Amino acid sequence: MTDTAIKGVPAEDDPRSRVPLAEPGTGLTKITDTVAGIAERPETPKAWYVAFTIALSLLGVLGAMLAYLIWNGVGVWGNNNPVFWGWPIVNFVFWVGIGHAGTLISAILFLTRQNWRTSINRFAEAMTIFAVACAAIFPGVHIGRVWLAFYLFPLPNQMQMWPNFRSPLLWDVFAVGTYATVSLLFWYMGMVPDLATLRDRARHKVRRFAYGLLSLGWTGSGRQWSRFEKAYLILAGLATPLVLSVHSVVSFDFAVSQLPGWHTTIFPPYFVAGAVFSGFAMVVTLMVPARQFFGLKHLITMNHLEVMNKIILTTGSMVGYAYAMEFFIAWYSGNAYEKFAFINRAFGPYAWAYWTMVSCNVISPQIFWFKKARRSIPIMMVVAVFVNIGMWFERFVITVTSLHRDFLPSSWGYYRPTPVDMLTFLGSFGLFFTLFLLFCRFLPMVAMAEVKTVVPEGHAGHGHGHKEGASHE
């Protein structure tokens, strides 16, 4: 907090002050009751059932499309000469990108002591894991004979062959596999103390058993906390370079191949910025309705949303810079093929996709320069949805525009997805939302133990001052 107020600026708008991490008067008891109360509600709200039915139906669509694909082969997709990488890779990169915000919020903001993350990190981590699960489907099924998917891994086989470690596609297997595993460990480990809270509050035998099983016997002793905090710090330290490496490796899939529009060194940072951008947009998209619906407004405050909108503005501008830099390099390099690829990207047959991408990703977040827009629920929802759309188009533009103009003009073509492509992508949202709704219903949506450390009652020296106000018994 600042000692001297700036003239004419309200205290909460002072840029030197930290945003309040939870609304005043939110004590230990209230945090527990609010968060645990959501998972403990005896009757599931009707709206949840409606949402869950929709999500399950979409999941069914995904299952049907995958079964149809596996039975018939990849010919049911629009992938064909010269665009052999169509929607499946676009969807894969889209979902992996979304999965970046969770670990970024959990790890990087933890290491940089951005305590405002405590209210949203659990939520974002869950989103990460579900997004990575959606992403993992696409490389898994695009190989054609899915029962041979184990060839992706270096397993001994009767042909005595080993995978090619000089290929970025194999690096991708390791990067995404590690990312999914570490995210899952990070998410689950962070949840153990909160699961113990749910265990101790549970009145029903089955609930007590289930939460008891998952909380592994947590008692919150000083030694447990000491090791837990050390493990959490280490995982955060590990996840930070990991999260930056994953999308870098994904970008190598493109950058290492010698194709105009792909073979550029800007790809790794450009992809990481884009991933954070799309991930934060997805967090906002999900967070705004969830905090409204589950009554978490005093924990996930407007200040939290504003900070996230600032990150969307920053990363959106970084992505815009990357788009411009690609054009500059295409001209500056003097490479005729690179130049053609970019002129064709902006003014060729896929110009409509390119300009959709630019409008959604670069232009729409610029409204967040205004504080009123950053704090307006309708505006941030519209921008977040635009960014989600724009980031999907970014991957589409990169993948398809570079491929549809082959080196051999006789191979030039126009890629069109089939209905199976579209329904599979739609179905992947079913998987995402099914998992997400289950998480919202049964698990602690906010990291209770972490939020408790940032309210006044959680600190030594504050206890007595707040004792009267905070003890609700």
Partner 1 sequence: MSSKQAAAPVEQGPAGVLGVFHDVDSLLAACRRMRDAGFTRWEAHSPFPVHGLDEAAGIKPTVLPWIVLACGLTGTSCAILMQWWMNAHDYAYIISGKPFFSLPANIPVAFEMTILFSAFAAFFGMLGLNKFPTWSNPLFRVPEFERVTADRFAIVVDAKDPNFKADGGFLKQIGAKEVVVVPADPSSGKFPLWFHGLGAVATLAAMIPVALILRARFVTSEKPQIHVVPDMDFQWKNKAQTSSSVFADQRTMRLPVEGTISVDQPVDANLLDFRNGASTVQVEGVGTFRNDLPMEVTEELLAMGEERYAIYCAPCHGRGGYGDGPIHQRANGLSKDTNWVQPRNLQSEVGLALSTGQIYDAITNGKGTMQPYASQLSVEERWAVVAYIRALQRSQNATTADLPAGVQPEESK
In DSSP terms, 83 is beta-bridged to 80
Q: 312-341 mask for partner 1 (x: CB under 8 A)? A: ------------------------------
Contacting partner 1 within 30-49 (CB under 8 A): 32, 36
Residue with smaller CB distance to partner 1, 75 or 289:
75
Contacting partner 1 within 338-357 (CB under 8 A): none
- 83: helix, coil or strand? strand
> Closest Cα partner for 375 from 280, 285, 289, 310?
310
218 belongs to the binding site for partner 1 (CB under 8 A): yes
# residues contacting partner 1 (CB under 8 A): 78
Element of type H or E holding 397: helix 377-404
Tell me which of 9, 111, 213, 422 binds partner 1, using CB under 8 A.
213
CA–CA distance, 294 with 39 (Å, rounded to integer): 10
Tell me how far, at minimum, the Cβ of 96 lies from partner 1, in Å: 14
Stretch that binds partner 1, among 77-85, 97-105, 219-227, 297-305 (CB under 8 A): 219-227
CA dihedral 52, 57, 58, 63 (to 10 degrees): 120
115 belongs to the binding site for partner 1 (CB under 8 A): no
Tell me how far, at minimum, the Cβ of 58 lies from partner 1, in Å: 29
Tell me which of 208, 298, 339, 375 binds partner 1, using CB under 8 A.
208
Stretch that binds partner 1, among 13-21, 29-37, 332-340, 345-353 (CB under 8 A): 29-37
> Closest Cα partner for 125 from 210, 236, 200?
236
Contacting partner 1 within 176-195 (CB under 8 A): 177-178, 181-182, 185-186, 189, 193
CA–CA distance, 200 with 215 (Å, rounded to integer): 10
Tell me which of 2, 17, 29, 411 binds partner 1, using CB under 8 A.
29
Query: 140: which 2 tokens?
Result: 């898994």
Tell me how far, at minimum, the Cβ of 19 lies from partner 1, in Å: 20
Q: 410-449 mask for partner 1 (x: CB under 8 A)? A: --------------------------------------xx
CA–CA distance, 217 with 238 (Å, rounded to integer): 26
Q: What one-character-per-residue DSSP string does 348-384 give?
A: STTHHHHHHHHIIIIIGGGGGGSHHHHT-HHHHHHHH
Tell me which of 161, 324, 336, 422 binds partner 1, using CB under 8 A.
161
Contacting partner 1 within 227-286 (CB under 8 A): 227-231, 234-235, 238-239, 241-242, 245, 249, 252
453 belongs to the binding site for partner 1 (CB under 8 A): yes
Spatial contact of 456 and 77, defined as CB atoms under 8 Å apart: no
Tell me which of 91, 103, 128, 197 binds partner 1, using CB under 8 A.
197
210 belongs to the binding site for partner 1 (CB under 8 A): no
CA–CA distance, 89 with 135 (Å, rounded to integer): 9
One-letter amino acid for residue 462 of the chain: H
CA–CA distance, 54 with 397 (Å, rounded to integer): 30
Residue with smaller CB distance to partner 1, 182 or 311:
182
Residue 266 CA from chain centroid, whole number? 22
457 belongs to the binding site for partner 1 (CB under 8 A): yes
Exposure letters 390-411 (e unless 16+ CB within 10 A, then b): bbbbbbbbbbbbbbbbeeeeee
Stretch that binds partner 1, among 209-217, 348-356, 371-379, 419-427 (CB under 8 A): 209-217
Tell me how far, at minimum, the Cβ of 170 lies from partner 1, in Å: 7
Query: 191: which 2 tokens?
Result: 């949840």
Residues in the chain: 473
In DSSP terms, 80 is beta-bridged to 83
Tell me which of 222, 334, 378, 409 binds partner 1, using CB under 8 A.
222
97 belongs to the binding site for partner 1 (CB under 8 A): no
